[in-house]
Homo-oligomer: A and B are copies of this chain.
Amino acid sequence: MILTVTLNAALDVTYEVDALVPRDSHRVRAAYERAGGKGVNVARVLSALGTPATVTGLAGGPTGQLIRDELRAAGLRDELVPMAGDSRRTVTVVSREDGDATVFNQPGPQVNPVSWADFTARFARLVREAAVVVLSGSLPPGLPSDAYAQLVRSAAGAGAATVVDTSGPALLAALAAGPDVVKPNAAEIAKVTGHQDVVAAAEALRALGAQAVVASRGPEGLYAVAPQGAWRATPPHRLSGNPTGAGDACVAALAASLAHGDPWPVRLREAVALSAAAVPCPVAGDVDADLYDQFRTTVSVENTHASHVH
């Protein structure tokens, strides 16, 4: 089983309007709600691939209840832990005229120490069933910046591998706990390490504790720097669309192939193919299964060296 952690779970609301006009009053033509947060999206992709996934994290209040109801309706195993406060919403306004999306992200409620203790106890129990744990997304207000580091250590103690997809101080603090894979994007690791060269930046993150680093350069593909070597995987052609969905699909593929024990070139091929299959889907957590099957045979993976990558 793969356990995905969403500490700042959200109800993702989509409003369809005829066209978004600032300062105007809009009639919402259709409204959709579904459980969101990066870990939830990863679990949804895994579930679509037939890989059993369990969702844990924190959810509270009436919005938390809606998140949990929707997770269950989607057939995902819900192990979210109740918290004080009402979970956040995100509102995405989609224009019917041109398909453009405008997003409003609420920060989420403050997590108190009791809710965090409840969560870590539940996590310690769940992780014993997990082959891989995915830690995705920003930390909600109120949590210590080493929250992911604590969970990586707890997972390692139970023999589970960890994939961390976060940024900023939460990423830096997680490195010290030695996660198996971290997946920042190239801009993020350049910011965190000061290296513009992707492989050099990845090596710097490895020096800080990460065992392997997978860095995304968006439509240009993925780099992996691991104890076994360094690789680059490129999609057959550049795709543009939903970058959030692509990132979450990438993490889902990395987690699934880590659980399968695939070698790195296969992991990268799967990650690029699944990301590319998510890009055309407007909602994060969805993938186009036909595109995925097609891309798996056409992604190219090559060995790479620091000097070739800028």
Contact = CB atoms under 8 A, between A and B. Distances in A.
Interface size class of chain A, counting residues whose CB lies under 8 Å from the partner chain: 20 to 34
A298 B15 CA distance: 44
Nearest to A101: B23
A20 B106 CA distance: 14
Copies in the assembly, this chain: 2
B103 A24 contact: yes
Interface string A32-51: 00000000000000000000
Given A15-B91, A91-B91, A26 B103 contact: yes
Contacts of A23: 100-102
A257 to B, nearest CB: 29
Contacts of A101: 23
A28 interface: yes
B102 A26 contact: yes
A194 interface: no
Contacts of A93: 104
A241 interface: no
Contacts of A65: 62
Interface in A187-220: none
Nearest 6 A-B pairs (CB), nearest first? Answer: A62-B62, A25-B103, A28-B106, A23-B100, A26-B104, A20-B22
23 contacts: A15-B91, A15-B104, A17-B104, A20-B22, A20-B102, A22-B95, A22-B100, A22-B102, A23-B102, A25-B102, A26-B102, A26-B103, A26-B105, A27-B107, A28-B104, A28-B105, A28-B107, A31-B106, A62-B62, A62-B65, A62-B66, A91-B104, A93-B104
